[in-house]
């Protein structure tokens, strides 16, 4: 099975330091939806793994998160794309859960649900925690410079072998060739 794991905020859509709390605040990064459609057309299953601590912080309800994700699904459908599953961690950083990236729990759950080994699976994010979670399960860490990506590249020691691309569209071009 060909699989790609994507972070959501900063990779597919614009991020916000005050969180994406409503469908109105969710805005796709130009070219990201079409890039996901190209992955689908090339036979890839696309899965999202995202920290959403705004739920536990009380910044938005699960209904709002579902509405945001529904908007993303609809927007993808309009360009012929789809996301096969969304895995999210609703916990705050101090909760100590295993599902909050940089811990590998979300990605391990993806491996279980899809019955795949994640070794070498492209895993695309804009933050160090995305890359660290990817490396922890043997996935291929890919940094995009959208969202927090520029800051991550400048300020963090990236996992060995991390690939870097301007945005999701550029990363997908390299995967599909």
Q: Which residues are catalytic?
A: 7, 9
Instruction: Give the list of residues 6+ apart from residue 143 with CB closer than 8 angstroms, or none.
Output: 124, 125, 126, 131, 149, 152, 153, 158, 162, 163, 164, 165
The kind and range of the H/E element at 75 are: helix 62-78
**Residue 85: closest CA among 66, 110, 64, 107:** 110
The packing angle between helices 32-41 and 62-78, to 10°, is: 70
Please tell me whether residue 88 adopts helix, strand or coil conformation.
Answer: strand
């Amino acid at each position: 099975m060909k699989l790609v794991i994507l972070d959501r905020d900063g990779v597919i859509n614009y991020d916000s330091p005050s969180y994406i709390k409503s469908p109105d605040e969710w805005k796709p990064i130009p070219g990201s939806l079409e890039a996901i459609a190209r992955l689908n057309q090339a036979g890839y299953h696309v899965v999202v793994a995202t920290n959403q601590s705004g739920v536990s912080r009380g910044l938005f309800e699960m209904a709002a998160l579902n509405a945001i994700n529904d908007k993303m699904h609809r927007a993808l459908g309009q360009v012929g794309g789809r996301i096969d599953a969304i895995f999210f961690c609703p916990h705050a950083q101090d909760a100590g859960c295993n599902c909050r990236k940089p811990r590998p729990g979300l990605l391990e759950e993806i491996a279980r649900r899809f019955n795949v080994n994640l070794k070498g699976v492209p895993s695309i994010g804009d933050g160090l925690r995305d890359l660290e979670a990817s490396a922890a399960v043997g996935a291929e860490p890919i940094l995009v410079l959208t969202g927090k990506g520029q800051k991550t590249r400048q300020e963090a020691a990236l996992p060995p072998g991390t690939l870097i691309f301007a945005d999701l569209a550029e990363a997908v071009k390299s995967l599909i060739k």
